[in-house]
Structure 1
């Protein structure tokens, strides 16, 4: 057949395998996420027993740290951070310093000692889960802390029963009830995600429409600019300036319309104006970045941003501590859409209004660099052969 005389047709199986291989790499972070040095705060306010100079909370802390010390890769699963007070912990949770916190009150040892008396009382600890910080890592921290507490309860229950058995003493109803849970944990959700938030994934869900809108707008701009065939530097500079100003107008339209759509579809938007303006900033940053790349290499640049989409989307829902060093340091750390997701998370779950925080500043810098590169492209040499191909595409449209 004549088709098989074409080299591309013959090489198609290898091309398909290569494409599958490249895009399958995006699956790796989701296959077996394990925690690496997940920051967990711990507050030990236990006063101990003055008579025997014993602090039972120290033993509890040591045991919890040991049972949660390693993940399946043999690395520390949690990074325990000692904090002075519960108030400091709450401030750290609001500043996104910890995914969870364990607070041991001052009467912990006293309550533990009471288990051997006729009037027993279970010790209580408080576990704070920083829900808004990530959709998966806080839940993982909660499970690990819960398992650690349950494991300690089983050990303490066995020890208490063994002591009573050796003494030949009878266990009262109150003691039996206390032995069931020598340590009672109270779980408190800090920066709660609430309802209508896609289980905390709403910031991740919102990046794709904004990203695709900025990409498609730039494709249209590139085709129209090439169709006008501006060979003069001044004409190209004017066209780029018009693109920047029109992009800013579109950014405002995109920000407010997207926020209205999201709220209409049922997503909880606590700060409508701040969210709309932040989305406008993010759209303009992406728009200028894509425009800058297109202005130098044309439609071939679309491959870069499509790959960004496929590789970035699976990573954005994971906390950095759940990723391998390669994906955490070499991909997630510089993904431009990560700053959109982080900024939306602060707006949605941390009750922070629009401000010049880290995410906003980075997006502004991305837009500023894109603006400079886009304007500079007006002074490069004309790409006539490539422009002719893109002009043909524009004519076909």
Structure 2
């Protein structure tokens, strides 16, 4: 027993265990604990465009003007532009100020003004009012102002839920909180005036004064039921990477057995490509069966889903085979490391990642493009702009890996 403990290999294994736990902790715990919401793009549409709504937008812009602010407000001229903006994943959410917003606030202010005039003149004799032209005009104006109960000013909060489930949760909480705070601010001012003039309101009147702004919520690209709380794209990335990892290692070992002197030639590499593509098809069909058929994860279009999954698995296969052909089984830990590091960051919006994880991992991992593509396919239909970018990047990475795979045959011949 003491021989094992005192041996160099035992302590080498202990260091290896420490290193693995350190990497795993850094990738999984470190990334999640350092998440901080910053500069999340939110569209603001002012369909009213009058003085009061402009003032409110100006206040919001001042509130989030700092570079460390949680939200980044982006002015959008037309509400019709939001649909394409959500589809292209430009905005995580939006604030839409109703076209009658200023009109409603003005009617509330006039109503309050009328109540104040009525409170101040209620004890004035009618004869005195009739004798004073100015006072008579004020009383008549107050009667007109209070004749109709004012309506609540309206603001809509729209959440682009399919873009990212975690960001959607933040937006769903943050935006109504901001707009409700605006409403409370206006309400407190009006309540102060009422208290100062000893004005008592009915229940119906109080509802408008207590909540001058009505906030409604709306969801775009809504997550379907049984979508694993929006985590289906990330789980598909994990399954795709693991299936290609298992396939690449098994096929690499099998081809190495049949390779002359353990070295790959062009014929062997051609066989790797063909068998790898077949494995990718089998893996994609298996993922579709388990995810959609067995566990009812919604798949909008089976054909496009299978094509995308097969393509991404084969790209992963090329990356992994490239490393295995050049580094052998010693390259296997690198593949595991890529997956561990990537899984800690790709589920979060890039705006929530710290600079360390954003620049150190998110910026280079190919898995984020696959994640984005799966998200488009499952939740955001018609997002051709970002899907085209994902395809371009992944096909470029795959092409480089393919060239290096074939170049590995030359390296082996040179070594011989």
Normalised TM-score (structure 2)? 0.84
Q: 1:65 maps to which residue? A: 61
Per-residue CA deviation, residues 95-146 of structure 1 (Å, 9 max, x unaligned), is 1000011111221111012223131211001111000101111221221111
**What corresponds to 1:319 in structure 2?**
349
- SS class of match (1:266): coil
Change (3 A) 1:11 1:246: closer
Indicate conservation of the 8 Å contact 1:129/1:188, yes or no: yes
Q: Given the alignment of the two structures, is residue 103 of structure 1 paired with residue 96 of structure 2, yes or no? A: yes
Evaluate the alpha carbon distance shift between residue 238 and residue 271 of structure 1 in structure 2; reply closer, same or farther with a 3 A threshold: same
Distance, in Å, in 2 between the alignment partners of 1:189 and 1:131 is: 6
**Worse overlay, 26-35 or 103-112:** 26-35
CA offsets 1:64-123 (integer angstroms, 9 cap, x no match): 3344556xxx81221111110100122211110000111112211110122231312110
* CA drift at 1:15: 4.0
Q: Which range moved further: 131-140 or 349-358? A: 349-358
Question: Could you say if the C-alpha distance between residues 32 and 373 of structure 1 is closer, same or farther in structure 2, counting changes exceeding 3 Å?
Answer: closer
Among residues 77, 89, 92, which one is paired with 2:70 in the alignment? 77
Number of residue pairs aligned between Structure 1 and Structure 2: 375
Counterpart for residue 361 of structure 1: 392
RMSD (Å), alpha carbons: 2.3
Determine the structure 2 residue equivalent to 1:51.
Answer: none
Aligned residue number for residue 277 of structure 2:
248
Matches within 5 A, 1:120-131: 120-131=150-161
Q: 1:260 aligns with which of 289, 297, 302?
A: 289
- Specify the alignment match of 1:33 in structure 2: 35
Structure 2: runs of 5 or more not aligned: 112-145
Equivalent pair of 1:64/1:149 in contact (CA under 8 Å): no
Partner Cα distance (1:172, 1:211) in 2: 64
Offset of 1:382 from its aligned partner? Answer: 5.7
* CA distance in structure 2 between the partners assigned to 1:11 and 1:307 by the alignment: 19
SS of residue in 2 equivalent to 1:315: coil
Q: Which runs of 5+ in 1 are unaligned?
A: 49-54, 386-397
Aligned counterpart, 1:19: 20
Q: Deviations over 1:256-279 (max 9, x none)?
A: 332232111110011111000100
Q: Please say if residues 43 and 82 of structure 1, whose CA atoms lie closer than 8 Å, have aligned partners that are also in contact.
A: yes
Q: Which residue of 1 aligns with 2:401?
A: 370
Q: Normalization by structure 1: what TM-score? A: 0.88
Aligned to 1:218: 248
Relative to structure 1, the CA distance from residue 239 to residue 6 in structure 2 (aligned partners, 3 Å threshold; closer, same or farther) is same
Structure 2 residue matching 1:154: 3-state secondary structure: helix
Could you tell me how far 1:353 is from its partner in structure 2? Answer: 8.4
Range with greater deviation from structure 2 (289-298 or 250-259)? 250-259
Residue 173 of structure 1: how far off its partner (Å): 3.2
> Equivalents in 2 of 1:272, 1:2: separation in Å?
59
For 2:173, what is the secondary structure of its paired residue? Answer: helix
Q: Distance in 2 between matches of 1:375 and 1:232?
A: 16
Q: Secondary structure at the match of 1:357?
A: helix
Q: Decide which moves more: 132-141 or 173-182.
A: 173-182
**Residue number in structure 1 paired with 2:134:** none
Q: Is the 8 A contact 1:231 1:382 kept in 2?
A: no
Do 2:285 and 2:306's aligned partners in 1 also have CA atoms closer than 8 Å?
Answer: yes
Determine the structure 2 residue equivalent to 1:183.
213
Work out the CA distance in 2 between the residues paired with 1:342 and 1:10.
42
Please say if 1:197 is aligned against 2:227. Answer: yes
